[in-house]
Amino acid sequence: MKYACVARHRGEFRVRLMCRVLSVSCSGFYASQRREKSERQRVDERLAAEIRRLHGKNRHYQTYGSPRIHRELRGIGIAVSEKRVARVMREKEIRAKQNRKFRMTTDSSHAHPVAPNLLGRQCR
């Protein structure tokens, strides 16, 4: 996690300084850059691609959250927990869009009296 922070801010600050502040070794950071992705990271990448596909294709356009995506993944035979789906969606910033129903909040045709003009304003 600290190495990811160093990599993310590499253009802003010197690597040696960030490693010292985060109490990690520079050689460890560079070794992590050369290392291949773990099996779990590779599976998460494939899962993220499948989640993006399902998230973009639903009929209401990107309204599926992790429970529905999880259900869809199980339906096509991918065994994964709902928590893992939620974590991958959070990490990849895949969010459900909420379409809110239009609700009228002003009723101009009421029988109540109009408030008095206490300030004497001349509104046009």
Residues 20 and 6 grouped into a single domain: yes
Considering the domain boundaries, does residue 18 fall inside one? Answer: yes
Considering the domain boundaries, does residue 62 fall inside one? Answer: yes
Residues 83 and 51 grouped into a single domain: yes
Residues 25 and 48 grouped into a single domain: no
Q: Which domain holds residue 17?
A: 2-34
Cα–Cα dist 2/65, whole Å: 29
Above 90 in pLDDT, residue 107? Answer: no
Considering the domain boundaries, does residue 57 fall inside one? Answer: yes
pLDDT tier at 108, thresholds 50, 70, 90: confident
Radius of gyration of the chain (CA): 26
Note the pLDDT tens digit of each residue in 74-83: 999 999 999 9
Residue 26 zone, left/alpha/beta (φ > 0; ψ -120 to 50; rest) = alpha
Residues 29 and 62 grouped into a single domain: no
CA distance readout (Å), 55 to 68, 71, 84: 9, 12, 15
pLDDT reported for residue 40: 92
Above 70 in pLDDT, residue 59? Answer: no
| Number of domains composing the chain | 2
Smallest CA-to-CA distance from 29 within 57, 51, 1 is with 1
Note the pLDDT tens digit of each residue in 28-50: 999 988 989 889 999 999 999 99
Considering the domain boundaries, does residue 101 fall inside one? Answer: no
Cα–Cα dist 66/77, whole Å: 16
User: What are the backbone angles phi and psi of residue 38, rounded to the nearest 5°?
Assistant: -70, 165
